[in-house]
Structure 1
């Protein structure tokens, strides 16, 4: 491929290029997950089939329909948050503190899926509650994140005033950012990791995994705090969890915004570099810019002005 062909490819609108990069990234992720989890998933299926057959062979009075009834009973008990190992009456999932945490997972779009409204009234209310709650949550988290960033910048500016040399100021700003990120990691990942390991009985990697899946609002639901009917959870545990989710979301959103800003800067740098190359090539060949590229550049300029 010659020099001119490469420059012609560079004229492809960046939105198309980003789309290709996005799809490639997702497909690579799918291949990696398929490689890591595929064989294990097949082994689990075979193990479940074997265990089911062993239960039927061990208890000859059971048939396939009876086994399905038992499985359904266990699933219903799990959804209700009731343990079948004892005859004690439990509060289940829909006590006040748990319901408040569920409301928080709705407006934050975490949605673990371990509990969900089953009544018509609850489902209808959930729709309208999320419809107004999600935008409100975004606005509040955005405002809290800006306050966090303002505090960090004020501290950085205050300390920079004490510095004389430019190099020291740059080093001080970097140190403040690093300390800020490190503090957030400790508060929202390390400390909760120890708490969840103690209260939930998870391993440290599982607890750390739950922290990120929750604060990133992915919320698979494979690990959920305050979800084991065999364990006792005090009320303060739910309150602490809801507080952790709220401020952790604001902090992680701030970090993600910083990553987005850096990616945008890299994208602008690449566009500027390719733009200089294209301008020189067009000037040498007496060609005009690609109309699609011109439209996109005008759109980018308008967006930046806004």
Structure 2
């Protein structure tokens, strides 16, 4: 990529990020302000009704509760503590490390755990990337065969390719988003829009951590469910990477076409002037 294209790409990304910041500020800014006012009012009422509690004591309690928010839930409800580091929980953490999703709901607490995570990631991430690349090649080969099909024999090749591409996208969306979405609505008790949001945020490795697999502790065969869910993630990562690569290639071709057209126009102008 030459300097001009790189510069245009940087400008485009800065503009896109700026538009994103404006959009998310409009969508989320006022909601967070409302939540802050609601929390402030609640804390004022709490301190007024519990005069024996000082502001410093409440602040220390809230800080501790924030650090161990999941454990606080079980302590307050007087429930049996669920071991987050059982096999399925530890497996989920390992997958989030090697896939770089990093939900943020679980993190090592001990120094030895933190050191082990770094070493584990240094080995696991390259292995995962190799696996995802291999899965991507297999999926690309399947999609290439589908793309060669002549479902509308009388149509032009361009129309056939468009139809085939639409089938590929629909098949991928059904397999990687819709089908898992129905399962998550049942097991995790999310609505369908939440499941689609979770699927995309996970498979794009954004991983906000607001929705996590396995939070419903009543799930039967929790270990099997968690493992199968993360196998889906591996295939989903490969599929979405292919889709993003296709979109990237289309954008690069269009950008290159625009730059080349401008270059030719400048050449024509210079030839006319000479």
TM over 0.5: yes
Q: Deviation at 1:15?
A: 1.6
Which stretch shows the higher mean deviation, 248-257 or 269-278? Answer: 269-278
Post-superposition CA distance 1:170-206 (Å, at most 9, x none): 4333322211211111122222222222222323222
d(CA) in 2 for partners of 1:64 and 1:195?
Answer: 45
The structure with the larger Rg is 1
Map of 1:146 onto structure 2: 137
For 1:139-218, what aligned pairs fall within 5 Å after superposition? 139-157=130-148, 159-160=149-150, 165=154, 167=155, 169-218=157-206
Q: 1:276 aligns with which of 253, 264, 272?
A: 264
Instruction: Give the paired residue count.
Output: 271
Higher relative contact order (CA 8 A, sep 6+): 1
d(CA) in 1 for partners of 2:59 and 2:74?
Answer: 18
d(CA) in 1 for partners of 2:269 and 2:244?
Answer: 37
Q: Does 1:235 align with 2:229?
A: no
Q: Deviation at 1:207?
A: 2.1
CA contact 2:135–2:238 (8 Å) conserved in 1? yes
Which stretch shows the higher mean deviation, 39-48 or 132-141? Answer: 132-141
Map of 1:22 onto structure 2: 13
CA contact 1:82–1:92 (8 Å) conserved in 2? no
Q: CA RMSD in A?
A: 2.4
CA contact 2:87–2:223 (8 Å) conserved in 1? no
TM-score normalised per structure 1: 0.80
Q: Does 1:53 align with 2:44?
A: yes
d(CA) in 2 for partners of 1:188 and 1:70?
Answer: 42
Q: 1:94 aligns with which of 85, 105, 125?
A: 85
Post-superposition CA distance 1:9-29 (Å, at most 9, x none): xxx822212211111111111
TM-score normalised per structure 2: 0.89
Structure 2 unaligned regions, length at least 5 = none
Structure 1 unaligned regions, length at least 5 = 1-11, 287-306
